[in-house]
Amino acid sequence: MYSSLFANSNFLEFLFLVSAFEFHSTSSILFPPRRALALPNQQNRKTNVSIVQAHGLVKQFGTFTAIRDITFDVRQGEVLALLGPNGAGKTTTIRCLAGILQPSAGYAIVAGYDVRHHARLVRRHVGLLTEFPGLYGRLTPLEYLDFFGAMHGMSPADRYQRAEALLRHFGLWEARNRRLGQFSKGMRQKMALVRALLHDPQVLFLDEPTSALDPEGAFQVRSAIADLRTQGHTIVLCTHNLVEAELLADRIVIMGVGRVLAIGTPDALRDQVLGAPLFTLRLAQPLDDLASLAGEMVEIEAVGDTWVRFRTTTPETTNPALVRRILDRGGEIVALTEEPRRLEDVYLHLMGAAV
C-alpha cells in the first residue's frame, strides 16, 4: 500500500509542500520573514547572478546511475530548457535541484541554499510543476489555493490577495467558483502553474508542462509561461518539444542519456553544431568567375553556373558587399536566401554523435 502511495505523484507533491510547511512552522523565528508578495504584473529584471548552480551532479538509484556530472547554471530571470530523449534524466535533474531527491555526488546551490544540506529551505524557495499534477476535483480554485497557501505559512489575507492576482492573471478568475473537477486540461494545467507560483518562489521548475495537453491547452500554457518569462521569472523547463524550447528558453541544455551534451542559446548551439549561417545566392544567368569572386569573401560549400552556397559568420557586412560585387560584374541576382538551421537538426546531430 505504501509503495503505491509513494508511486503516486500527487502524494509526492503533497509531501513536497508539507515538508516546506513543517520547516516554516518550526523555524520562523530563526529566519527572516517572507519577502513581500510580488504581484504577477510586476516587472523583474534579468541579472547575471546565478540562482541555480549545478556542479557535477550525480544521482544513483541503487547501482543504476540516472545522471552523471550534470553541470550548468541558471541566471536570475533566465528561462533554461532541458531537452533530451526519454530516460535522459531531465526529471531526475530537476528533482535533485528542487530538493526532492538527494544527489549521490556533486552539489547544487538553488536560491542560495545547498540542496544537499538545506533541502527544505530549497523547497520553500522553489515552485514545482510535475508532469501530471494532481488537483482536488471537489475544491474550487480559491479553496484549493487557500489550502496550499496555508501549507506555505501564508496569512489568510496574503493567500486571498495572491490567489486573486494569479487567478486574474491566468484568466481563471471567472471560474473561481467552479469545482476543479470541471476544469479543462488546459485550465487544470494553468491552475497547477498558479499553485506553483502561489508562494512567490524564486525559481520555477516545470516538468513537461504541455505534454498532456491538446494544441489549444498547450498554447494557453505556453502563453502563460511566455508571460512569466517576460516578467523575469527564473524558470527551468523540461520538454520534448523543440519548438517550445526555442520559443520560451534563453538557453538550452541538451542531454543525452544521463549527461549534458551541449549548452547554449539556440543560435550558439546552431553555430557550435551546424557551423556558421549558410546562404544560397541564385543568378538569372551564368557568371564565369562566380566561384573565385565569392571565394575571396566567403567560405563556399558548393557552387554551380548560376548559384553558390556559402557560409559566413558576418552576413550583415559580407552579404551586401558580395551582392555589390556581383552586380558590378554584371550579374543579375534572383535570390539570396538563408538556409534554415533547425534546432531539430542540432538535436538529431548531437543524439547521433552521442550513440
Ligand X SMILES: Nc1ncnc2c1ncn2[C@@H]1O[C@H](COP(=O)(O)OP(=O)(O)OP(=O)(O)O)[C@@H](O)[C@H]1O
Per CB under 6 A, residues contacting ligand X are 61, 64, 66, 84, 86-92
Our CB check for ligand X shows the closer of 89 and 149 to be 89
Our CB check for ligand X shows the closer of 253 and 308 to be 253
- State the nearest-atom distance from the C-beta of 247 to ligand X, in Å: 19
Our CB check for ligand X shows the closer of 202 and 241 to be 241
- State the nearest-atom distance from the C-beta of 257 to ligand X, in Å: 8
- State the nearest-atom distance from the C-beta of 313 to ligand X, in Å: 34
Our CB check for ligand X shows the closer of 95 and 309 to be 95
Q: What span, in angstroms and rounded, lies between the C-alpha atoms of 72 and 56?
A: 9
- State the nearest-atom distance from the C-beta of 110 to ligand X, in Å: 17
- State the nearest-atom distance from the C-beta of 69 to ligand X, in Å: 15
Our CB check for ligand X shows the closer of 39 and 354 to be 354
Q: Answer yes or no: are the C-beta atoms of 74 and 52 closer than 8 Å.
A: yes
Of 230, 229, 193, 195, the closest CA to residue 208 belongs to 193
Our CB check for ligand X shows the closer of 254 and 290 to be 254
- State the nearest-atom distance from the C-beta of 340 to ligand X, in Å: 26
Our CB check for ligand X shows the closer of 70 and 151 to be 70
- State the nearest-atom distance from the C-beta of 89 to ligand X, in Å: 4
